Chains A and B, each alone.
Chain A
Amino acid sequence: MDSRSPLSPKDVVDEYFIENRTRLLEIAAFLDRLDRAEPGYSGRDFRTQAFIEALAAMSGGAGRLERIQLLLSDPTTEPLGALDRKSAFGAYDKSTKR
């Protein structure tokens, strides 16, 4: 069963441009909001550091999504010795002591 998209490139743009334009503006607004709260804060929080690295990874051509997923993932392979918290943060804190 062929599961490739029947959409042409123009169809993809026609169908998805506006909603992704909106998402792009939301990201810009989030970063501006953060700068208004405190200019330079984004460079000190591991989550926004990763976010900004992810934005740079967007310009690298095909494979963007997996590159960003890897950038945000815990790269270690060893289990934790003890439970530290219940929830994930969304980005890996590279300063974490193991």
Chain B
Amino acid sequence: MHYIDHHAHMVSRTTDDYQQMALTGCVAVTEPAFWAGWDRSGADGFEDYFRQLTEFEPARAGQYRIQHYTWMAMNPKEADDRELSRAVLARIPKFLDRPTVIGIGEIGLNRITRNEITTYTEQVELALAHKQMILIHTPHLEDKLKGTRISVDVLNSFPTIERERVMVDHAEEHTLPLILDQGYWAGLTLYPNTKVSAARAVDMIERFGPERICVAGACDWGPSDAIAVPRFIFEMRRRRHSEDLIRRVVFDNPVQFLSQSPKFKIRPTLAREGALA
């Protein structure tokens, strides 16, 4: 079955991972800008990273017939540094016209500091000023509920925001309803330890339905799985769900969300196996 992984930090992965993803049906990934696991020394480091995301990574993915798209952002882990954040935000607009950049992300909160909220708010403003889609990172573990509530409150404070063009990612059972109830898309990220297992993701589809929910692996430099979405597909089959429902979650839904960017080439009206651009 074809699938789209809307959240994959492929700069941290090997070409073997691209191959595994291609072999298991992945046809497109979107890669949010994120933390490298250590703090960069200045804005020049971000600029190199943004070039990697927009130049090198699409070519590497293309070798495996995977379409690669990206999101530009100052990530939440470094966003408390206001001076660095201002410098990075000033460099983002020149990347937004690049052919594979589909929005601003992943922006959001980490430890939920006042500085992080300011940087996050400025990036929402940046996205709206440039008519960009938005991908939101929500904090981990004990910080998730508080961080998701504040993140959504900030979004709701912008009366012109188009909620259907915003995905709030890393949702779990205690945050999913508050995201969906406000009209945003929700992402479930499948992680071995700190986020959601495939079984719990299927539970959430069963409890809340498939509307405005996508699943992703969020593979990165930590313990994570490049083929987490196929494991979700297998879990759905263990529960004896229909192939139509599975395809809805792993292909049709991400196409519906992502094709709101004119740069995303897989169209929703052709969202079936033989309809890839």
Chain A interface residues toward B at CB < 8 A: 1, 3-7, 11, 15-16, 65-66, 69-70, 72-77, 79-92
12 further A-B contacts with Cβ under 8 Å, apart from A5-B241, A15-B238, A83-B80, are A1-B244, A3-B205, A3-B206, A3-B210, A3-B245, A16-B199, A72-B141, A73-B145, A73-B174, A83-B111, A86-B77, A89-B141
Chain B interface residues toward A at CB < 8 A: 77, 80, 110-117, 139-146, 149-150, 172-174, 194, 199-200, 205-206, 209-210, 238-241, 244-245, 248
Specify which chain A residues have a CB less than 8 angstroms from the CB of B115 in the assembled complex. 83
| 5 closest cross-chain pairs (CB), A and B | A88-B141, A69-B174, A83-B80, A73-B145, A6-B240
B172/A69 in contact, CB under 8 A? yes
Known contacts A3-B206, A74-B146: A80-B140 contact under CB 8 Å: no
A-B contact count (CB 8 A): 89
Specify which chain B residues have a CB less than 8 angstroms from the CB of A76 in the assembled complex. 146
- The 8 Å CB contact of B113, one of A69, A77, A81, is A81
A69/B173 in contact, CB under 8 A? yes
Specify which chain A residues have a CB less than 8 angstroms from the CB of B174 in the assembled complex. 66, 69-70, 73
A88/B139 in contact, CB under 8 A? yes
A3/B209 in contact, CB under 8 A? yes
Specify which chain A residues have a CB less than 8 angstroms from the CB of B240 in the assembled complex. 5-7, 11
Q: In chain B, what residue has the closest Cβ to A75?
A: B146
Query: A85 vs B116: C-alpha distance in the bound complex, in angstroms?
Result: 13
Q: In chain B, what residue has the closest Cβ to A11?
A: B240
Within the complex, what minimum Cβ distance (angstroms) separates A96 from chain B?
A: 10
B141/A81 in contact, CB under 8 A? no
Query: A1 vs B239: C-alpha distance in the bound complex, in angstroms?
Result: 16
A6/B173 in contact, CB under 8 A? no
Specify which chain A residues have a CB less than 8 angstroms from the CB of B238 in the assembled complex. 15
Q: In chain A, what residue has the closest Cβ to B147?
A: A74
Specify which chain A residues have a CB less than 8 angstroms from the CB of B205 in the assembled complex. 3
Known contacts A65-B173, A73-B142: A3-B111 contact under CB 8 Å: no
B146/A88 in contact, CB under 8 A? no
Specify which chain A residues have a CB less than 8 angstroms from the CB of B241 in the assembled complex. 3, 5-6
Query: A86 vs B145: C-alpha distance in the bound complex, in angstroms?
Result: 17
